[in-house]
Amino acid sequence: MTTENTNDPLVIFTPSGKRGHFPEGTPVLTAARQLGVDLDSVCGGRGICSKCQVEPSFGEFPKHGVTVADDALSEFNKVEQRYDDKRGLQKGRRLGCQATIQSDVVIDVPAGSQVHRQVVRKRAEARDITINPAVRRYYVEVEEPDMHEPSGDLERLRQALEKNFDIKGVDADLHVLQTLQPILRKGDWKVTCAVSTGITEGTGAEKPAILQVWPGYSETPLYGLAVDLGSTTIAAHLCDMTTGEVVASSGIMNPQIRFGEDLMSRVSYSMMNEGGAAEMTRAVREGMNALFTQIAIEAEIGTDQIMDVVFVMNPVMHHLFLGIDPYELGQAPFALCTSEALSVRASTLGLTIHPSARAYILPSIAGHVGADAAAVTLSEAPDKSEDLVLLVDVGTNAEIQLGNKDTVYACSSPTGPAFEGAQISSGQRAAPGAIERVEINPETKEPRFRVIGSEIWSDEPGFADSVATSGISGICGSGIIEAVAEMRMAGILDASGLIGSAEQVGTPRCFLDGRTNSYMLWDGSADGGPVISVTNPDIRAIQMAKAALYSGARLLMDKFGTDTVDRVVLAGAFGAHISPKHAMVLGMIPDCEIDKVTSAGNAAGTGARIALLNVAARGEIEEIVRNIIKIETAVEPSFQSHFVNASAIPNSSDPFPILGTHVTLPDVNFNTGGGEGGGRRRRRRG
């Protein structure tokens, strides 16, 4: 910026507060650019795109120390009039490229005119998303070829992009070159370009590139996809890259399921079948293309309008998607082929979207803590937290992060599938008919529950009717957690994980079931339905799972040098359904104020969306991930002792004082001297 002349009119932009003196006749857009005010323009000030709308204010502004005259801006000109006639300009609005400064003025840049507008997220603790996409539209007028100074059409297009938008050294894919000449002539040397603005830092670093050229001024929207590639489902959000709006969301089952339900069975499939990994790669890519087609149909766009796609996934899916055999992830030392972010052409991944579309895969944190965990980090920002946050994404593995703005630790812990209802006698996936909420009366030891698909508790009128369709089929992950916690609170279960007998507890719902006791939640046998009870092996499975989770968290707390955390964030679908109080009674998560335990929902998907919409977030998460201290639980001796302590409910060593202020756990012990648990008792008697 050249030296200001303070005799020139003063221009103050709101909401940024940026201000400066500019000679009379300076267009508002020019002043905004010179001051670095975030004012959009696709056409570079030619009065075509109308993205640079501003709202001047008039009168006295003691706060700013100026008085704005009614004629502080130039009169409404022909270009503005034409735009108003054609499309309607909101009252009080001006086009920033047409209105010129005449005297001191205060100018507001409405949200819609900002390039880097914010997408506000609902949760109070979540950061807003800044829109700063990798691909943007630019309108330029290109010089015609001149035999006196021969130069290529692309070179003159480059010059126009550099001159008008300061985009230097832009590349063009072959397919752009192949149609460039007729498009330039069709548009009479006026064209709109979709330009990937380039990334100067991080693994994804690449030169700016022209992805597409349209004749004339085009408002063709640019779309991007945020994809969460899970072992079970693939979910995608289609976003308008300019507004940040999610225009369609869709999901499909991961077609790899036919090769194995869980990750380890897929790793085994690849180990035991020549070409198995390649087969799974093909399957997931085909599924991906089917999903993209489906979502494009839903949004009524062509798949070739999708120009950017961001992926998050766990390490095994990461390798299988890229065509890397996941063999090494199945055995110590669990070496990833690459942990860094990957920036490639979508076409190299076999994706049939726009031919020049870019694909970005977030970095992985470690062998068991993948790009999906990195996306959770990006969404929940433990690295920016003032207080100490424990971030848990529960699946077959729990990915655990603990930290604040100074340091973040991460590890994964093998919780197994119990939290998903597997390995539980009456367990099932969360689906209609599954018991999801449980309460047990500590006096009567009688339970009541709710099933997915009905809002009515089982002891309330109308319950039978409300579940007539779904039936009561089993118990899902959140249901089993509540059941076990309620059993502990009602004195049906002791701290070691033993269910008492009918006599010990004083209810016929407890019954000898093989060599240990079970607790009956629901007997549907009269109607031909199932008997749903919680068995002692179920308790053992939950103990193992929650001990793995807790001891991972506890290990990170040791590393951090703390015994307490300020808050706990549960990510993922499971985290969204879990009851914080019950999780804490189980000793699944560390002792903490219950209202400080929150759910982040699909944080991995959100993280993918952030990386899609804000290209700067990519370099940012790469840097964050590099700085995360990775802990491998398998080589940490204290993990085992934490695990043993955490097998007790809630814990045989850690005190849980805050939980104690809310809940008093009965001091029962159902060990009759024959040993602690079913397994051991059996061995002694056998």
Tokens of 35: 């001051």
Contacting residue, 35, 79, 344, 456, with a second copy by CB under 8 A: 344
Q: Which stretch binds a second copy (CB under 8 A): 1-9, 24-32, 337-345, 586-594?
A: 337-345
User: Cβ of residue 432: shortest distance to a second copy, in angstroms?
Assistant: 41
User: Are the beta carbons of 361 and 318 closer than 8 angstroms?
Assistant: yes
624 binds a second copy (CB under 8 A): no
Contacting residue, 59, 245, 327, 465, with a second copy by CB under 8 A: 327
Q: Name which of 359 and 592 has its Cβ closer to a second copy.
A: 359
Q: Which stretch binds a second copy (CB under 8 A): 23-31, 56-64, 325-333, 503-511?
A: 325-333
348 binds a second copy (CB under 8 A): yes
CA distance 625 to 628: 5
User: Cβ of residue 388: shortest distance to a second copy, in angstroms?
Assistant: 23
265 binds a second copy (CB under 8 A): no
Q: In which residue are the tokens 């998560």 written?
A: 589
Q: Name which of 362 and 649 has its Cβ closer to a second copy.
A: 362
Max CA separation in the chain (angstroms) = 104
180 binds a second copy (CB under 8 A): yes
Contacting residue, 39, 48, 52, 172, with a second copy by CB under 8 A: 172
First-to-last C-alpha distance (Å) of the chain? 88
C-alpha gyration radius of the chain: 31
Q: Which helix (H) or strand (E) holds 681?
A: helix 678-685
Q: Name which of 637 and 657 has its Cβ closer to a second copy.
A: 637
Pairing relationship of beta strands 135-141 and 129-130 according to DSSP bridges: unpaired
361 binds a second copy (CB under 8 A): no
Q: Which stretch binds a second copy (CB under 8 A): 334-342, 467-475, 515-523, 642-650?
A: 334-342
User: Cβ of residue 156: shortest distance to a second copy, in angstroms?
Assistant: 9
User: Cβ of residue 180: shortest distance to a second copy, in angstroms?
Assistant: 6
CA distance 412 to 393: 9
Pairing relationship of beta strands 567-571 and 389-394 according to DSSP bridges: parallel
Site for a second copy in 183-202 (CB under 8 A): none
CA quadruple 175, 176, 180, 186: dihedral, nearest 10: 100
Determine the length of the chain. Answer: 686
Tokens of 604: 């991995």
Site for a second copy in 513-532 (CB under 8 A): none
335 binds a second copy (CB under 8 A): yes
User: Cβ of residue 223: shortest distance to a second copy, in angstroms?
Assistant: 24
Contacts with a second copy by CB under 8 A: the residue count is 47
Contacting residue, 635, 683, 684, 686, with a second copy by CB under 8 A: 635
User: Cβ of residue 69: shortest distance to a second copy, in angstroms?
Assistant: 51
User: Cβ of residue 182: shortest distance to a second copy, in angstroms?
Assistant: 8
DSSP string, 157-202: HHHHHHHHH---S-EE-HHHHHHHHHHHHHTTTEEEEEEE--B-SS
Q: Is 401 strand, coil or helix?
A: strand
Q: Which stretch binds a second copy (CB under 8 A): 24-32, 78-86, 172-180, 538-546?
A: 172-180
What letter would DSSP give residue 327? G
323 binds a second copy (CB under 8 A): yes
Contacting residue, 35, 177, 257, 594, with a second copy by CB under 8 A: 177
Q: Name which of 239 and 320 has its Cβ closer to a second copy.
A: 320
275 binds a second copy (CB under 8 A): no
DSSP string, 534-546: E-HHHHHHHHHHH
Contacting residue, 118, 178, 444, 638, with a second copy by CB under 8 A: 178
637 binds a second copy (CB under 8 A): no
- Whole-angstrom CA distances from 405 to 363, 607, 627, 628 are 20, 18, 11, 11
Q: Residue 249 pairs with which residues in a beta bridge?
A: 237
User: Cβ of residue 279: shortest distance to a second copy, in angstroms?
Assistant: 14
Q: Which stretch binds a second copy (CB under 8 A): 118-126, 509-517, 626-634, 638-646?
A: 626-634
User: Are the beta carbons of 574 and 429 closer than 8 angstroms?
Assistant: no
Site for a second copy in 112-171 (CB under 8 A): 144-155, 169
Contacting residue, 250, 289, 338, 501, with a second copy by CB under 8 A: 338
Query: What b-and-e string marks burial along 625-650, b requiring 16 or more CB atoms within 10 Å of the CB?
Result: beebeebbbeebeebeebbebbbbbb
Q: Cβ–Cβ contacts within 10 Å for residue 471, how many?
A: 16
59 binds a second copy (CB under 8 A): no
Contacting residue, 218, 303, 339, 551, with a second copy by CB under 8 A: 339
Q: Which stretch binds a second copy (CB under 8 A): 293-301, 339-347, 447-455, 601-609?
A: 339-347
DSSP string, 409-460: EEEEE--GGGGGTTTSTTB--S-TTEEEEEEE-TTT--EEEEETT--S-TTS
Q: Name which of 338 and 466 has its Cβ closer to a second copy.
A: 338
CA distance 80 to 84: 6
Q: Which stretch binds a second copy (CB under 8 A): 94-102, 179-187, 524-532, 568-576?
A: 179-187
Q: Name which of 23 and 182 has its Cβ closer to a second copy.
A: 182
Q: Is 132 strand, coil or helix?
A: strand
Q: Name which of 411 and 597 has its Cβ closer to a second copy.
A: 411
User: Cβ of residue 206: shortest distance to a second copy, in angstroms?
Assistant: 8
Q: Which residue type is seen at 54?
A: V
Q: Is 119 strand, coil or helix?
A: strand
324 binds a second copy (CB under 8 A): yes
Q: Name which of 168 and 662 has its Cβ closer to a second copy.
A: 168
Site for a second copy in 86-105 (CB under 8 A): none
Q: Cβ–Cβ contacts within 10 Å for residue 81, how many?
A: 12
Q: Which stretch binds a second copy (CB under 8 A): 14-22, 336-344, 415-423, 600-608?
A: 336-344
Q: Name which of 97 and 373 has its Cβ closer to a second copy.
A: 373
Residues in contact with 496: Cβ distance below 8 Å, sequence separation at least 6, in sequence order: 648, 649, 669, 670, 671, 676, 677
Q: Name which of 233 and 338 has its Cβ closer to a second copy.
A: 338
User: Cβ of residue 359: shortest distance to a second copy, in angstroms?
Assistant: 11
Q: Is 567 strand, coil or helix?
A: strand
207 binds a second copy (CB under 8 A): yes
User: Cβ of residue 645: shortest distance to a second copy, in angstroms?
Assistant: 23
What letter would DSSP give residue 366? B
User: Are the beta carbons of 281 and 321 closer than 8 angstroms?
Assistant: yes
Q: Name which of 335 and 531 has its Cβ closer to a second copy.
A: 335
Whether a cis peptide bond, with omega within 30° of 0, leads into 650 is yes
CA distance 295 to 399: 29
Tokens of 629: 């201290």
Q: Name which of 152 and 442 has its Cβ closer to a second copy.
A: 152
Judged by the rule CB under 8 A, the positions of this chain that interact with a second copy are 144-155, 169, 172, 174, 177-178, 180-182, 205, 207, 322-325, 327-328, 332-340, 344, 348-349, 364, 366-367, 630, 632, 634-635
